[in-house]
Amino acid sequence: MPLSYAELEEKVLTALEEAQAETRGKPNITAIAKKHGVDAQRLRRRFHGKESKSTRPPTNRKLTDAQEEAILTWIAVLDKL
């Protein structure tokens, strides 16, 4: 049975900690990923600072937070009329 997202994320974080703890130059991401049973490309992206899907902002939003707040405020003003 495939791992849940939380279980997979835990494995990636463990592998990432090991890769970041590597002090002898560049860590072998592929070997570390294989050792922990995670995708090497996913570990490599995370090692280079890319966020996980659960923590990065959504890409399909049309409005910024400020624009959305302005619309909600305007709706509240109109609702009071």
pLDDT given for residue 61 in this prediction: 83
Backbone angles phi, psi at 30, to 5 degrees: -60, -45
CA distances from 55 to 17, 22, 67, 75, 79 (A): 18, 25, 21, 30, 34
pLDDT given for residue 70 in this prediction: 98
CA angle in degrees (0–180, nearest 5) for 40-56-19: 30
- Consecutive 10-residue averages of pLDDT for the chain (81 residues): 86 93 87 94 93 81 91 96 88
**Helical H runs in the chain?**
5-21, 29-36, 40-47, 65-80
Contacts by 49-52, CB closer than 8 A, 24 or more apart: 52/9, 52/12
pLDDT given for residue 73 in this prediction: 97
